[in-house]
Amino acid sequence: MPHSLLQNQRQFFNIGTTKDVDFRIAQLKALRQAIQAHESEILTALKADLHKSTGEAYLSELLVLKEIDYALKHIRQWAKPLRISTPLEQLPGRSRIYPEPLGVVLIMGAWNYPFQLMMAPLVGAIAAGNCAILKPSEIAPHTSRVVADVISKTFDPQYVTVMEGGAEVSQALLEEKFDHILFTGSAAIGKLVMAAAAKHLTPVTLELGGKSPCIVDRDIHLEHTARRIIWGKFLNAGQTCVAPDYLLVQKNVKADLIQAMQIVIREFYGDDPSQCEDYVRIISDRHFERLVQFLGDGRVVIGGDKNPSDRYLAPTVMDQVPLDAALMQEEIFGPILPVVEYEDLEEAIALINARPKPLALYIFSRSQQIQNRILKETSSGGAAINDTVMQFGVSALPFGGVGDSGIGQYHGKASFDTFSHYKSVLYKPFWLDIKLRYAPYKGKLGLLKKIIGW
């Protein structure tokens, strides 16, 4: 089945229809209209899979409409050939770079934002002129079904289609030769995707994760810091690849910050977050059980309540967590926030640099000197100053990891670039043919040395 789908799409791609920019624009508009037309079904599916409220769904999943709008605004400029300066020795001549689609691409999504993480890469694939096969996560089955429904009603399967199913479907797809694979998920599965792609020399974009640190300096606006950290951490019940994974807090502000965060949690979710419609549930029993085990790795200072039957785990803040505990070694991907204190900034930077490079890094400080020092002395896929997660929503900012947190980038023009090949072309006319470059070279060496800058 994957093989025949791929062959059909390759035949359609070879016709050349997708290379027409007007065609791409029409498809992006069709996708936008389809998402709006299926709004209620999308919201219902997200509620069923993750207990995601309408407000949070708009904020984190249907935000993909802005990605479509951004692509529609810029696609004609992106698709234009780039004029490149031609060196003197190559004259008369002109140089151009042509963005061209790769062909047939595979997009493999994750369960934590099961709609947005399928549609956002698709926007880039369409804008760049590709055909695409989508593989949603089976762990969010209701949203997977809606994604398949939206796509089947909007596009010819020869152009864009969806393959639902479990690991066996993913394995079957990865046995095929695609022109690019974009995968969002865990590092463990990302390694399998990369290994499978290597057999066909297929380029990959891997959007992974890691333990994203959040450094809190003593010179902050306490209330705003607490609010922005709590929002970013407990959005989607912490099941966010760029959520703050742990706090590194200057010891003089630690107690005040914990108290402020407790007030904010009550402000956001009430006295009993289990009754709050805006608080998401853990995706599966397996993930829930894994998170509950983390609660024994330190002292719970906020939250800790749980209900296995509802997969509810309260917004939880923990203190006195040893650095070698599992909670501080594994990506949490849930509503548990460990707090680690530091005295000197050098300690915090050293702790970050002793670990794999994270997908995101957050800095809370009024001091531009401290902000710049942390940015300069650490490496991360991206960063935000005095906020969390919001950098993901800026289409003009490429999104991606570095090292263990990912390979490649997308969003906005970065998505167009990811799904494009930039073909370099040198044009030469016939009306002049300087013989300096041709043999024999006797008597020409001095001039040749000058030309190459010897």
Strand partners, 160: 132
What is the DSSP secondary-structure string of 384-403? Answer: EES-SSGGGG-TTS-B---G
Closest CA to 388 of 213, 271, 178, 262: 213
Phi-psi region of 304 (alpha: psi -120 to 50; beta: other; left: phi over 0): left
The alpha helices in 367-444, defined as continuous H runs, are 368-377, 412-418
Give every CB contact of residue 266 below 8 A, 6+ residues apart in sequence: none
Per the annotation, the verdict on 330 as an active-site residue is no
Looking at 67, 131, 176, 241, which residue is catalytic?
241
In order of 49, 142, 154, the CA distances from 36 in angstroms are 20, 18, 12
Closest CA to 50 of 310, 305, 367, 368: 310
Angle ∠(58,33,410) on CA atoms, nearest 5? 65
Please give the distance of CA 164 from its chain centroid, rounded to a whole number: 21
Per the annotation, the verdict on 241 as an active-site residue is yes
Give every CB contact of residue 167 below 8 A, 6+ residues apart in sequence: none
For the chain, the straight-line distance linking the first and the last C-alpha, in angstroms and rounded, comes to: 59
Looking at 56, 61, 207, 341, which residue is catalytic?
207
Tokens of residue 367, six digits = 């001091």
Share in percent of the chain as helix, strand, coil (round to 5): 50, 20, 35
In order of 51, 127, 166, 169, 409, the CA distances from 400 in angstroms are 27, 19, 25, 26, 4
Active site residues: 207, 241
